[in-house]
Amino acid sequence: MPKLDAPVLIAGAGPAGLSAAAVLAEAGIEAIVLEAEPDLPLELRASTFHPPTLDMLDRFDATAGLIEQGLIAPAFQYRGREEGLIASFDFGLIEDLTNHPYRVQCEQFKLNQLLASWLAKAGRTEIRFSHPVTAIKQDENGVEVTCAAPDGEVPLAGKYLIGADGARSVVRAALEIAFDGFTWPDNFLVVSTPYAFEDHFEDLDWVNYFADPEEWFFLLRVPGLWRCMFPTRPQEDEADIFDPDRVRARLRRVLDRAGPYEINHTTLYRVHQRVAARYRGGRCFLAGDAAHINNPLGGMGMNGGIHDAVELAETLVEVLGGSGNDSLLDRYEARRRPIALDYVNRLTIRNKRNLETADPAEQAAFRAELKAAKSDREAERAFLKRVSMIQSLEDAAALA
């Protein structure tokens, strides 16, 4: 194995890769983050940060930055398109379990920027842009990564590699790890508009899920904009989906009004439910979307990826610091993979089904579940622990 460039190499400067780098840097461990793009990606994807994620990111000054650039959402609600408010839930009820009893609504690229600037100040991490990882090899002493940099191939050596390189992970492919699951036939369309829906729906929260058997949708607020997400039908043509008149027609089904809707962005996403068959291959680990992907109903993908990154990096700190041996690293997969499979995957599939179902018995069961959660303080706290992902972290810690 050639001379070590850094103890830890990280593929991907997304929320998972940068969170892992921050935990390592805080412990004085150097890392090189290899990012395929020439800069931090500015994609509009996640916008919801859950309470335990805010607790985790606080120590890197990121939570204060997200609050400053985002919106605090103390409550969220479920509605029926026709029936109006079904139930609203307030995170204040679990304020004893978190320092941040609310969601923060803020675009995920702002987290990447905040973490990158914290890392620059902390001084232990180098981010190399335009360095896509193309190949890896490893032995009992370390791992060697090849990047296709602009001036040619660059080899780098580390003791461990974190594959946080997203859903199409090259690290996962190089380790020949299966990504089992399925892709939904309906794509999701996200439309952003500055229109003030809150002036027309009574008691709207900043996060609102609307059930409807014809076309469910959600309304999520980020500063200055509402993000509206709709399912599209498998047979719909992409050009039709993006046709501004049709986009406006979808918005008019949210709220029928005389004037035209101003539209700032429209993006169409393929939606999957997949979990990697293994999170570890020797000295290489998968985290974030490289390890699991799910539909965005419930806002658990990025949040879960950050939880992976923190768990994995904290375990690497123990092992590299000498207080744990290599076998401790198996604990990462033992804790985090069942959460992706049995918790995030199951809940997000159920969230989708609850909003879209046309079956009266399922509609009634969903409403009965919400009513039961609202009927008793302990039941409501249990519900809030589940949707905020606090429960997932407690479950993970109990696993190994």
Ligand X SMILES: Cc1cc2nc3c(=O)[nH]c(=O)nc-3n(C[C@H](O)[C@H](O)[C@H](O)COP(=O)(O)OP(=O)(O)OC[C@H]3O[C@@H](n4cnc5c(N)ncnc54)[C@H](O)[C@@H]3O)c2cc1C
- 8-state DSSP, 345: I
Choosing from 6, 15, 189, 383, the residue that interacts with ligand X (CB under 6 A) is: 15
CA distances in angstroms from 265 to 209, 229, 244, 345, listed in the order given: 20, 12, 11, 28
Nearer to ligand X, 175 or 302 (CB): 302
Is 333 an interacting residue with respect to ligand X (CB under 6 A)? no
Contact between 65 and ligand X (CB under 6 A)?
no
Q: Which is nearer to ligand X, 47 or 125 (CB)?
A: 47
Is residue 14 a contact residue for ligand X (CB under 6 A)?
Answer: yes
Contact pick of 24, 25, 34, 390 for ligand X (by CB under 6 A): 34
Of 54-62, 83-91, 121-129, 296-304: span binding ligand X (CB under 6 A): 296-304
Report the residue from 35, 107, 311, 380 that binds ligand X according to the rule CB under 6 A. Answer: 35
Write out the two tokens for 21: 């780098």
Q: What is the dihedral of CA 278, 281, 285, 286, to 10 degrees?
A: -40
Among 7, 80, 132, 181, contact with ligand X (rule: CB under 6 A): 132
47 near ligand X, rule: CB under 6 A? yes
Q: Does 310 bind ligand X (CB under 6 A)?
A: no
Is the Cβ of residue 187 or residue 354 nearer to ligand X in the bound state?
A: 187
How many Cα atoms sit within 13 Å of 275 on the Cβ side?
Answer: 15
What's the N-to-C CA distance of the chain in angstroms?
32
Among 4, 45, 186, 201, binds ligand X (CB under 6 A): 45
Q: Is 32 in the site for ligand X (CB under 6 A)?
A: no
Distance (Å, whole) CA 167 – CA 197 = 33
Residue for token digits 């974030």?
288
Q: Which of residues 129, 184, 242, 269 is near ligand X by CB under 6 A?
A: 269
User: In the set 65, 142, 281, 296, which binds ligand X (CB under 6 A)?
Assistant: 296
Q: Which residue in 193, 303, 357, 388 binds ligand X (CB under 6 A)? A: 303
> Taking the complex as a whole, how short is the minimal distance between the CB of residue 341 and ligand X, in angstroms?
16
Nearer to ligand X, 88 or 267 (CB): 267
Residue 105 Cβ vs ligand X, minimum distance, rounded to whole Å? 8
Site string for ligand X, 71-110 (x = CB under 6 A): -------------------------------------x--
In angstroms, the CA 376 to CA 382 distance is 10
**Nearest residue (CB) to ligand X, 29 versus 229:** 229
What is the distance of C-alpha 91 from the center of its chain?
Answer: 19
Concatenate the DSSP letters of all residues of 180-216 into one string.
Answer: EEEE-SS-EEEEEE---GGGTSTT--SEEEEE-SS--
Which window, 7-15, 74-82, 199-207, 246-254, contacts ligand X (CB under 6 A)?
7-15
Is 345 near ligand X (CB under 6 A)?
no
Cβ distance 389 to 341 under 8 Å?
no
Separation CA 136–CA 161 (nearest Å): 9
Residue at 246: amino acid letter: R
Cβ-contact 254, 197 below 8 angstroms: yes
Strand order in the sheet with 272-276: 179-183, 272-276, 292-293
3-class secondary structure, 217 = strand
Residues near ligand X, by CB under 6 A: 11-17, 34-37, 41, 45-48, 108, 132-133, 164-166, 170, 190, 269, 288-289, 296, 299-303, 305
